[in-house]
Amino acid sequence: ACWVKRSMIARSSRAVLLADSSKFDTKRLEIVCGWNELSDFVTDRAPPEGLARALAAAKIVLHIAT
C-alpha cells in the first residue's frame, strides 16, 4: 500500500527508488512520492533523456546496476 511506503519515506533519512528499465515511461495509478523526496535511483539501464534530466534536476544520484 502506498500509505505504508509514504510513512517509511517520511521517517527515513534517505529514500532509494529501485526500478528496472521496463518501468521507464509507464503510467501508474498512484504516486508514492515526488522526485524531491528521493535521494537515489537504482536501475539496470540508462534512463531515457527526459527521465535522466528530471533525475538530474532533482539532484537524485543515478546508479546503474551491472
Residue 55 has a pLDDT of: 96
Residue 51 has a pLDDT of: 94
* pTM for the structure as a whole: 0.86
The pLDDT tens digits for 21-46 are 999 988 888 999 999 999 999 999 99
CB-based contact 44:63 (threshold 8 Å)? no
CB-based contact 12:36 (threshold 8 Å)? no
Residue 25 has a pLDDT of: 86
